[in-house]
């Protein structure tokens, strides 16, 4: 995070009801939603999505029922699922709780505060078996700390949304770690009416996800609005993407987000060590922070044998 960012001022703006990403762009003169702006905006909102879920449980149950049905239709016998950009794990908790047959469940978000707040909510919603099968961490969608072809299906739920201009970069990374493909629940510019398109332009939301996936060599087998929708100006579409050909599966062990070499965990210091890069990644309240920006140079560190 740059030293010029005035977090107290942005926190006050949020408390006054301002859109934080718009406030950030105004304060920095930026025309785009940078990763830093997205992180700050969501971090300051930590807890709000849990409150929203509590106020409208029927809608969110219907939304995740549809997600679960689409997963079963397009990717039956799913062995592992990653919710990329899981936020406060609100939808994640409802969806994962409906997936008894999926042995490996994963989630990550850019914001530590959202994951931390969300974990408490998650554990209060799911049963012990679901909690045991789920692993969450902090990471960046542009550098996911998992090996190639290590997650059966990767999904997003309005997590790609604010990243217009980075579609190809982020979709390429999601495809890299997936074995079978992607299940994307994102607003659609091309399917939307004029009002939705103007709203998405104003907020800097993603566009043309299906075309980007085709350009990356993947097959788009479905692309349509979901049946359950909440905001008529930001209707959700599902984009089902299949990765071409069969790929050799790798275990979903943590890797360095830059070198993609295996990280070693030190239970004494509770850090993840990259011998190749000479850095360590911390954990905070049990949550691994596996972002390059969190790496600490520690060439003399060694994990005890």
Domain ranges of the chain: 7-45, 56-242, 254-305
The two tokens of residue 161 are: 């949304």
The 10 Å CB-count burial string (b at 16+, else e) for 193-208 is eeebbebbeebbbbbe
Q: Are 110 and 85 in contact (CB under 8 A)?
A: yes
pLDDT in tens, 91-120: 999 999 999 999 999 999 999 999 999 999
The whole-angstrom distance between residue 32's C-alpha and the CA centroid of its chain comes to 19
Residue 62 CB contacts under 8 Å (≥ 6 apart), including other chains: 228
Report pLDDT digits (tens) over 179-216. Answer: 999 999 999 999 999 999 999 999 999 999 999 999 99
Q: Which CATH superfamily is domain 56-242 in?
A: Vaccinia Virus protein VP39 (3.40.50.150)
Instruction: Tell me how far apart the alpha carbons of residues 137 and 145 are, in angstroms, rounded to a whole number.
Output: 9
CA distance 117 to 46: 7
Distances (CA, A) of 174 to 2, 79, 241, 247, 258: 27, 17, 11, 15, 15
What confidence score (pLDDT) does residue 16 get? 73
| 145 vs 34, higher pLDDT | 145
Mean pLDDT of 50-79: 94
Overall size of the chain counted in residues: 305
The CATH architecture annotation of domain 254-305 reads Single Sheet (2.20)
| 272 close to 264: Cβ distance less than 8 angstroms | yes
Q: Round to whole Å and give the CA distance between 27 and 4.
A: 10
Mean pLDDT of the chain: 91
For 253-283, give one letter per residue: b (16+ CB within 10 A) or e. ebbbbeebeebbeeeeeebbbbeebebbbbb
Asked if 141 contacts 159 with a C-beta cutoff of 8 angstroms, the reply is: yes
Span 162-167, average pLDDT: 95
Q: What does pTM read for this prediction?
A: 0.89
């Amino acid at each position: 995070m740059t030293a010029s960012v005035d977090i107290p001022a942005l926190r006050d703006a949020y408390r006054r009801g301002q859109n934080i990403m718009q406030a950030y762009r105004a304060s920095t003169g930026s025309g785009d939603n940078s990763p830093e702006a997205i992180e700050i905006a969501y971090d300051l909102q930590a807890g709000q999505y849990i409150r929203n879920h509590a106020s409208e449980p029927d809608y969110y149950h219907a939304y995740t029922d549809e997600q679960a049905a689409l997963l079963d239709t397009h990717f039956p016998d799913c062995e592992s699922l990653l919710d990329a950009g899981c936020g406060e794990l609100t939808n994640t908790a409802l969806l994962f709780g409906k997936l008894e047959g999926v042995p490996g469940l994963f989630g990550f978000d850019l914001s530590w505060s959202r994951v931390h707040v969300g974990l408490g909510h998650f554990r209060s919603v799911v049963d012990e078996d679901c909690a045991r099968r789920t692993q969450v961490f902090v990471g960046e969608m542009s550098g996911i700390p998992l090996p190639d072809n290590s997650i059966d299906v990767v999904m997003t739920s309005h997590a790609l949304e604010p990243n217009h201009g980075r579609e190809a970069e982020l979709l390429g990374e999601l495809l890299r770690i997936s074995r079978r493909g992607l299940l994307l629940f994102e607003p659609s510019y091309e399917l939307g009416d004029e009002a939705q398109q103007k709203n998405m332009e104003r907020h800097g939301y993603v566009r043309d996800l299906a075309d980007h996936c085709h350009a990356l060599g993947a097959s788009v087998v479905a692309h349509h609005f979901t049946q359950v929708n909440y905001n008529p100006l930001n209707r959700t579409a599902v984009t089902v993407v299949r990765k071409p050909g069969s790929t050799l599966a790798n275990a979903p062990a943590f890797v360095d987000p830059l070198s993609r070499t295996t990280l070693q965990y030190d239970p004494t210091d509770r850090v993840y060590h990259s011998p190749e890069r000479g850095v360590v990644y911390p954990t905070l309240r049990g949550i691994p922070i596996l972002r390059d920006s969190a790496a600490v140079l520690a060439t003399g560190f060694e994990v005890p044998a």
